[in-house]
């Protein structure tokens, strides 16, 4: 008799490996959340600075001054313009 897809999960250590992968994925997500909260707070505090250079730099990078954020354009050029590499 041929095994169905669900039967394969319960054979051997497949379910254990899947659960281990789920735990690792959760840990990565938790670390990402912690870093985003920390860096968000730091950047928020820096953006309230009265220094004109810092103010305009963050205003340009956040996309409030231009139509598109410079960071988004840089990421787009890095990953989607691979023919230049």
Q: What angle do CA 42, 56, 70 make, to 5 degrees?
A: 80
Structure tokens at 9: 């999960």
User: What pLDDT shows up at residue 12?
Assistant: 81
Distance CA 48, CA 10 (A): 55
Output the six-digit token pair for 70. 């410079």
Please report the pLDDT score of residue 70 as a whole number: 64
Q: Rounded distance, CA 21 to CA 32, Å? A: 16
Q: Which residues of the chain have pLDDT under 50?
A: 85
């Amino acid at each position: 008799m041929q095994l169905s897809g669900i039967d394969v999960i319960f054979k051997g250590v497949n379910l254990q490996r899947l659960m281990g992968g789920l735990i690792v994925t959760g840990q990565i997500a938790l670390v990402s959340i912690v870093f985003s909260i920390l860096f968000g707070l730091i950047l928020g505090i820096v953006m309230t600075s009265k220094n004109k250079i810092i103010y305009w730099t963050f205003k340009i990078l956040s996309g409030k001054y231009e139509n598109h954020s410079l960071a988004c354009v840089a990421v787009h050029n890095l990953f989607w313009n691979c023919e230049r590499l």
